[in-house]
Structures are given as structure tokens and as C-alpha cells.
Copies of this chain bind each other. A is one copy, B any other.
Amino acid sequence: MSLVIVGSLAFDTIETPEERKEKIVGGSCTYCSLAASFFTTPKIVGVVGEDFPQETIDLFKKRKIDIQGLEFAEGKTFHWEGLYGHDPNQRKTVKLELNVFADFKPQLPPDYKGADYVFLANIHPELQEDIRVQFTNPEWMAMDTIAHWIENNRETLLQVLEKCNLFFCNDEEIKLLTDEVNLLKAGKKILEMGLAYVVIKKGEHGALMLGKDLVFGVLAHPCEEVVDPTGAGDSYAGGVMGYIAMTSSHSAQTIKKAVVYGGLVASFLVEGFSLETLKNLTLDNVEKRKNIFRSY
């Protein structure tokens, strides 16, 4: 069934203790849609400036990603600069240039409106809400966010969240959102808002998925060299949503499998710079790692 992914397309400048990459293509929608494309043919909603590389647009087309909802605006593409320390779980935003995102007023193309599955990837909660209301009757909606919006736009964020079926977050974000350090309790608070599932990503420790009467844990694939964690969370969600859309099911059994696949896709992402990795990754690689993953 059809999946629409809404999010950012960006240039990322990334500095890790080992190297610095200037303005490489990134963005939540970019990572998420490429990850989802292993399982389904997502439609995307976002905005890019005149400087966004044709090569990436060609990659979207090659992966059969529908770009009707992608706006090509005058000006520069959104630019984020981040700094990772010795601990790859901690990052600092050094610079944030909204550029074309500043005036983005998304309009869903007509044949996006009836989408069955909707994923609101990380962007400003106001934008998530503006887009959300344009869908006629989605069967299943999920969202992601970051600590920045929880701290600064909590009210709008909660408004979007309570319309969702599934929430993706990391441990830090859910603690911040619920003011609860225990992840089971924090997850239950989210479920009490009416959501069916919460997926709490825990970096190297894997993920915890909670639903009504359901606790499901997944280990992370062991990784010795975290090259760049940017996009891992987005590709995690993309893998999960792609798998759900592919199977056209949101039973607990499907979501469990989807969470395993999402984690596997993300495990490749942290081992290199994300777009390069997503370009070269195949579903066959993912399946192979699934087998290794199961055996340990």
C-alpha cells in the first residue's frame, strides 16, 4: 500500500573526531525514503533549493521514489552543521541555515492525499501538522522528532503525536518528552495518549518496542567503528515504515519484524557516511546481516 514520507532534504556538514565532510547530501526525508525504498515505492514531500544535486534526484528516481511532492524552490537548500564528539551518541548543532525551508508551505499532490501509510519524519512540528491535515484518511500514521522540537514546540508536537499510531524516538527524547527516566514507564505514557506502538531507539543497545500488553526488545548489530551516525535514526524509521507498507499490515507480528529490519538498515548507516552507504546497500546485504544477527 502507498507510503508518503514527509521530511527534510538538506546539506549536512559533519565533523567527527576523525574527519570533516562539507555539505554532503542529507536530511530526514532523504535517508528515510531511500531506506524505505528497499521494501516499497515511497512518495516524498519536501523542498530543495537550486543547489541540490541532480545526482540525488536521479538516485530517488532510480529507486522508484515518487518525487511529485518535492518542491524545487528558488534559493539554497537547508543546511545543517553538526559536530560529533568521541561518543557518537552525542552531537552538537553548530549551524542551522533554514534557507528554502523558511518559507516552505507544503501542498500535497492530489494522488498523495489518499495515502494509506504516512510517515512524518523529523521537521518542524508546525509543518508536520500542516501536512498531516491534508491527508484524507490515512490508515496508519507515524512520526519522528528531535529534542529541539520537544524543548521548543512541545504543544504542537503533542497535537501531531496524539493523531499518530506509532512514535519513533530515542531514549533521550522520550525521557525529555515524558519526564520519566524508566523507558517502560515513559513508553506507557505515550501509549496512554492513544498510540498503538512506541519504538525507542537506544543506539548501540538496540531498540525497545512497546504496545498494549507488548514489550519487544531488539539487539543492535555490534559495530566497532561508528563513522557517522547521521541519518541512522531516519533510515531506521524508513526501514520500519517501508516494511509495514510492503506487507500492508500493522499487526504486532509485522511491526516486530519491521523493527528488526529497521535496525538492520540503520546498522549499515553508522558504518560510513550515510548517503554513500544507502547508495551501495542492497536488500541482499540486509538479509545476510539478519542471519548473522540472529545467530549471536
Which residues of A are at the interface with B, using a C-beta cutoff of 8 A?
A: 86-87, 181-185, 202, 204-206, 208, 214-217, 219-220, 222-226, 296
Contacts and interface: CB of A to CB of B under 8 A. Distances in A.
A202 B217 CA distance: 14
B296 A224 contact: no
B296 A215 contact: yes
Given A183-B204, A205-B205, A219 B222 contact: no
Contact of A217 (B86, B208, B214, B296): B296
Contacts of A296: 214-217
Contacts of A223: 182, 184
B185 A224 contact: yes
Nearest to A209: B296
Given A206-B217, A215-B296, 10 more contacts: A182-B224, A182-B225, A183-B204, A206-B219, A208-B222, A215-B222, A216-B296, A217-B220, A217-B296, A219-B219
A86 B185 CA distance: 14
Given A182-B224, A224-B182, A217 B217 contact: no
A184 B217 contact: no
Contacts of A216: 296
